[in-house]
Structure 1
């Protein structure tokens, strides 16, 4: 682009254009803007602060601080409200192992999000029967009208992967996709009560990881153990064993002493 100046005007010559734009010099000045009196006293409700989203993927909640902003920039009548928020749409795969006959629920959204209202969102479900997979080619439509799938009770034929898609009704944009991998096993095949197979030390470690104090944990675990597994019984057993060993040692020492005395008496009698 090349520019040339002429007297009383400013012309811009376009190298690729067949014409010339010429603007008067007075056109560059900014005209004065008159603000109406109504706008000088107007107030706007603006979100001045917000917490982070309650979830790391999909649809969650955040708390916003809403204030009235005056024309002078002052804040007043501030309130807080909960609103929906979105982050990344992919939530990955969640695994579940459920025994036959147990009622179970797969929820695509948390209860607090649903309680706030989900009128602007829709939910579609798909299923891959008998497979734990994230390959979308293997999924077929699964008719379920709500944001949760309930099994009451669950059957072996319900095993598979369930995919949930949450969309915005206005744009049909996916804002959350989550996979639920469900394994269903028979009750007589395996016992899922892992807690009763843990040792005392493992139970203490689990309770301590959950933030329970060591003293209260020890009492709780001691109450669930058999009497021969309790620490107090083990201490008593050690004390009794130590006492028996002491009695045996003392009795053997006394017996040896008695035998020596008898042998001395026998020698004295033979001498006389």
Structure 2
């Protein structure tokens, strides 16, 4: 305990020096003799957080650092980490009668332990929304919601909030949009399920077909115009011959 207290005092003194402006002259600080040989355990390295939002895990390398900067007795440990608290909306489509689970946190975070955190749920029944005014409390003390089996009445949006018990601060909020469909229903929105590359290929194919159809129509129109011109020419020629014969007969 004495080593930790002395290390804390030394750390605070060094922190105070690091906060001084660069232009300011650093005052002479005399470090007590009992602190000059103190070894402090600090995190010298850590991985990135396992999640991009909310509560996750990271691995830290902890070492004892001597006053000369030497590291020794290094160990690794896992610890909680937090990033941005808003995780947005996730969509799920569940067949009626099938079991399904919504999890507010990843399984590794739950298994690591969640002492000091709490979880609350709310629901907007029958709606896919992120309007917080439409949500009502949903009684569920766990970090997961289990549909076993799923019913049509379970459709809606479920909101999960993870808070720090000491401060009641929200460190994660995520929305789950749940659609529950019958087995005899099919998704008729074929285009929506396609990738952007597939949609582009369809548009190109439709453009080629439309262009081909236009060429065919132009060719057909030219054919009938040519045929009608031939018929008109023949009729005109026959008429002229008839007029000439009649005049010759009258003379």
Q: TM-score, normalised by structure 1?
A: 0.58
The answer for unaligned runs of 5 or more in structure 2 is: 1-26, 199-251
Q: 1:48 to 1:34 in 2, by over 3 A?
A: closer
Aligned equivalents of 1:50, 1:186: Cα separation in 2: 48
Residue in structure 2 matched with residue 6 of structure 1 by the alignment: none
Aligned equivalents of 1:173, 1:116: Cα separation in 2: 21
Q: Aligned ranges for residues 26-105 of structure 1 at < 5 Å?
A: 33=30, 35-37=32-34, 39-105=35-101
How far the C-alpha of 1:34 sits from its partner, in A, is: 5.4
Over aligned residues, Cα RMSD in angstroms?
A: 2.1
Is 1:190 matched with 2:193? Answer: no
Out of 116, 120, 125, the residue aligned to residue 120 of structure 1 is 116
Quick one: higher RCO (CA 8 Å, sep 6+), 1 or 2?
2
Q: 1:138 to 1:33 in 2, by over 3 A?
A: same
Q: Aligned ranges for residues 197-208 of structure 1 at < 5 Å?
A: none
* Number of aligned residue pairs: 165
Q: TM-score, normalised by structure 2?
A: 0.62
User: Looking at CA atoms only, which structure, 1 or 2, has the larger radius of gyration?
Assistant: 1
Aligned equivalents of 1:34, 1:151: Cα separation in 2: 62
Aligned equivalents of 2:112, 2:49: Cα separation in 1: 14
Deviates more, 1:76-85 or 1:90-99: 76-85
Deviations, residues 41-60 of structure 1 (Å, cap 9, x unaligned): 22111000111111111011
Deviations, residues 118-146 of structure 1 (Å, cap 9, x unaligned): 01110000000000000000000000001
Aligned equivalents of 2:118, 2:146: Cα separation in 1: 18
